[in-house]
Amino acid sequence: MNYASFAIVFMVSIQYFNTYGIKKFNRILPFIIYAWLIVGVIQYFIFPSFLHSLIPNASLFKNIDYEIIRATGRGVLSLATEPTYYGMHMYALLLVVLFTHPENTKEKKHYLYIILFSIIFLSRSTTAILILMSLIVVYLFLNYSLRSALVLIFPLFIIVMGIIGMFLNVYQLDSYRFIILLKAFIKDPILLIQTAESVNDRLGTMLLSHMSIFYKFGLPGGYGTWENYALGELIHKFEFINKITAADSRIHSNSGSVIYEYGIFSYLYFMTFYMSKSKRSLLDINKKLSFYGLLILIPFAIPVAYPLIPLVLGLHYSYKINHLKPQLDQPFKTSTSK
């Protein structure tokens, strides 16, 4: 069903953007961004369990003192099932904004500030922050020469660390989860991977699911077999991984789950990314970031059925085919016709 959902959203997105364009979609987008922001703000400052009863699996937080959760440095859920998913969803919305708002307008900057605030201060998701930092590094390499990008990365890193240090001293963010994990990583990265359960599980399943295609010689693993395969067999075949991490019962990786379950046939999934890419869209830095930002996202714990990935691919594909057919009165065509 996950793969059917991906295909349906992809095809519906293409049809929608071919029919209505991005102007109508841009009327809906602010409501989506503000809804996630407002719910997150209410949960953070006023009512921590706000709307949890309406969100599947969020009820798991009902019987837990939220102050205890906050003490661990974790953020709020907003409309997601966990803070990490909230942060990654806002990151995906960032990719949508980059594509639909290529010009540096006040509206675009406003959306970007909201998204960055949601990721960094509301979700407090270490995974989402690392993905965001990876996107910044990709931006440097895409927008500058290799030499210039390498020169810029070091001072940028110093500036970011300085800002983090400032916030630590001024706002006493020692309980911030990203800061906790960052300190632990600087002190002993191997110990962090071994002792931090969420880091351990995610890293283990990401590595093993992608490596399974080599060990299984490209044969599909199928559904419902991961736990027995990973915990009972695969983890012991790679001793260097077994020493630092473990495999969880679920695959915490979008691309990893596709590769494990379908083996060499997973190329059909990745072909949608290749098909959606166009030389024309890659000439624009915003659209280029939107596309490569997806490639940064899919190794992480995003379900295959997550709708924003095929939606962004639908944007790119619609833009591509309308460029190939400029005679049609489509929203992405380069010239108007009368």
pLDDT for res 314: 92
pLDDT, average across residues 193-207: 71
- 318 pLDDT more than 60: yes
pLDDT for res 43: 87
What is the pLDDT confidence band of residue 239, given thresholds at 50, 70 and 90? Answer: low
pLDDT for res 245: 58
Return mean pLDDT, the chain.
78
Residue reference for tokens 């930002």: 293
pLDDT tens across 273-288, in order? 998 887 776 678 888 8
- 338 pLDDT more than 50: no
What is the pLDDT confidence band of residue 151, given thresholds at 50, 70 and 90? Answer: low
pLDDT for res 130: 87
Tokens of 77: 């859920």
What is the pLDDT confidence band of residue 90, given thresholds at 50, 70 and 90? Answer: very high
pLDDT for res 118: 94
Tell me which of 307 and 184 has the higher pLDDT.
Answer: 307
Percent of the chain predicted with pLDDT > 70: 68
Which of 66-70, 202-206, 238-242 is most confident? 202-206
> Which range, of 14-18, 155-159, 253-257, averages the lowest pLDDT?
155-159
CA angle 187, 189, 190 (to 5 degrees): 125
Percent of the chain predicted with pLDDT > 90: 26
Quickly list DSSP for 29-86: HHHHHHHHHHHHHHHHHT-TTTTGGGSTTGGGGTTS-HHHHHHTT----TTSSSHHHH
pLDDT for res 222: 85
pLDDT for res 75: 82
- 333 pLDDT more than 50: no
Four-residue CA torsion sign, 285, 287, 290, 293: negative
Closest CA to 178 of 133, 111, 224: 133
pLDDT, average across residues 235-256: 68
What is the pLDDT confidence band of residue 150, given thresholds at 50, 70 and 90? Answer: low
pLDDT, average across residues 217-224: 85
pLDDT, average across residues 137-148: 76
Four-residue CA torsion sign, 35, 36, 39, 40: negative
pLDDT for res 327: 34
Four-residue CA torsion sign, 259, 262, 263, 267: negative
Q: Residue 336: is it exposed, middle or buried by C-beta count within 10 angstroms (0-12/13-18/19+)? A: exposed
What is the number of alpha carbons within 13 Å of residue 22 lying toward its C-beta? Answer: 17
pLDDT tens across 37-63, in order? 999 999 888 888 788 777 776 545 555
- State how far the Cα of 288 lies from the Cα of 132, in Å rounded to an integer: 15
pLDDT for res 325: 46
pLDDT for res 328: 35
- 143 pLDDT more than 80: no
Which of 39-53, 179-193, 257-271 is most confident? 257-271
DSSP-based three-state secondary structure for 245? coil
pLDDT for res 38: 95
Which of 168-177, 207-216, 270-279 is most confident? 270-279
